Amino acid sequence: MDEHTQDPREIAFLHSGEFPRGDFDSKDHQPDESSEEHLHDESSSIKEVDFFSPKSQPYDDIGQVRTTIIVGSSGFNDNLGMVNLCHGTSSDDGDDKTKTKTQIIRLKLELERLHEENHKLRHLLDEISQSYNDLQRRVLLVRQTQVEGLHKQHEDTTQAGSSQALEDRRPKHMNNEISATTLKRLSPEDEDDRDDMHRGSPKTPRLDQNKSANHEEQQNPHDQLPFRKARVSVRARSDATTVNDGCQWRKYGQKMAKGNPCPRAYYRCTMAIGCPVRKQVQRCAEDTTILTTTYEGNHNHPLPPSATAMAATTSAAAAMLLSGSSTSNIHQTLSSPSAASSSSFYHNFPYTSTIATLSASAPFPTITLDLTNPPRPLQPPQQFLSQYGPAAFLPNANQIRSINNNNNNNNAQLLLPNLLGPQAALPRDMVDSVRAAIAMDPNFTAALAAAISNIIGGGNNDNNDINNNKVDGASSNGDSPQLPQSCTTFSTN
């Protein structure tokens, strides 16, 4: 609630110069000579953060007025000269009361207009988030199709007519557009998530998802592959019963698994009614200090920043997994020279041999991120990002790279320790590994945007608080800049 208690790391990030807001402060917001401005310097900077919050409605003090000036100078609105004029000169003693009232009325009108503009901007942000979400799905689908095509080509080299088969699978326009039918099949995944939410009963999702998935795959298995059920396992050392990943979970079952004396616990996400995300937590039989958390499903609600770290990590892993048509294909992609010579995503992933392993025997395609071992020392995350960044095919790769290569390159570090929650005693290598995985994620900037908008919009700085997703309209309403598909996504429809 109180902006002053905002996490200093996040504040530092907001003013680090990486986010456009930094430009506002450094360039557009010219230092004002008026002593009145100086008097309100501190309050105005905070109001600026609070601009998107619906709570900041009154605009009844000077600080609020100055807020509009700041935002206006950012380029969203250039019609604020009037406000400046009205506010800047107080030395004229000849102003009568009527003139002052007129000015106040004009100011109020202007502020109402700005408020409306604020709503429009928020709507625009939502649309951008939506577009990004769709775009990411297309990229995922295209990437999967490419890998599958390569695999098919490899298989068909000994068979006649392989080129024809490949041509059938890879339409010429593949890289630029997805067919309308394919896109139509993409949307039901969201529909299903919404269905889960409306079903009320948590009983149905898994079984229904499996049934519908099987049915769809029978119809056209290739089109459905990106949204099969995938699981992401995260192995980390922890003494706690479960890893604090920022989400709120409810335990709904426990089972003794075969071959492991430690019971396996089943959790369901309770941050939103009907959220289909589940996780399994089990200690490693060989080393009980290692906790294996397996995520499955796709959150249907906004995530607090504290949850986006793990969500983005697992999302990146799931994307890596699902961009192959099967686990065997992935293995082949990883090992096949022909695949390696292509622009294979996996080939460029330096952590493959250290933290990411794929299970072909599991009932569902599963990728395991082993955070108990350090990454390869010669390729620290920063170097990896600049050298292996997903710029080749990710729409926002440049953003990722600019964020991570900038001189103020500790943005991820700024966020990560906080996002991983109060369980702060995390090994350095785990932090690095997670950071690298996060940065690999095409959702990373979206997650960042969600976190920032949460800070800006909510003013609720309790980022670890699960109530974060119901703070106010700016961050929790249906069209909020929610992190698109940001969690352990890619569950089957």
Partner DNA sequence: CGTCTTTGACCAGCGC
Partner DNA sequence: GCGCTGGTCAAAGACG
Residue ranges that bind DNA, judged by CB under 7 A: 201-204, 206-207, 210-211, 248-259, 264-266, 268, 270, 278, 280, 363
**Residue 203 C-beta: closest distance to DNA, Å:** 3
Backbone torsion region of residue 246, taken as left when φ is above 0, otherwise alpha when ψ lies between -120 and 50, otherwise beta: left
Q: Which is nearer to DNA, 257 or 360 (CB)?
A: 257
Q: Which is nearer to DNA, 214 or 405 (CB)?
A: 214
Tokens standing for 449? 């945007």
**Residue 119 C-beta: closest distance to DNA, Å:** 33
**Residue 88 C-beta: closest distance to DNA, Å:** 53
Where do the DSSP E strands lie in 167-284?
A: 231-237, 249-256, 263-269, 278-283
Q: Which is nearer to DNA, 54 or 202 (CB)?
A: 202
**Residue 366 C-beta: closest distance to DNA, Å:** 9
**Residue 227 C-beta: closest distance to DNA, Å:** 17
User: DSSP for 184-209?
Assistant: HHHHHHHHHHHHHHHH--TTHHHHHH
**Residue in the block written with tokens 């039901």:** 188
CB 267 within 8 A of CB 250: yes
Label the pairing between strands 366-370 and 231-237.
Answer: parallel
Q: Which is nearer to DNA, 223 or 296 (CB)?
A: 296
Which secondary structure element, helix H or strand E, spans residue 296, and what is its range? Answer: strand 290-296
Q: Which is nearer to DNA, 433 or 493 (CB)?
A: 493
**Residue 486 C-beta: closest distance to DNA, Å:** 21
Q: Which is nearer to DNA, 82 or 273 (CB)?
A: 273
By three-state DSSP, how is residue 202 classified? Answer: coil
Partners of 26 in the β-ladder: none
**Residue 258 C-beta: closest distance to DNA, Å:** 4
Partners of 367 in the β-ladder: 232, 358
Cα(411)–Cα(386) distance, integer angstroms: 15
Q: Which is nearer to DNA, 76 or 252 (CB)?
A: 252
By three-state DSSP, how is residue 64 classified? Answer: helix
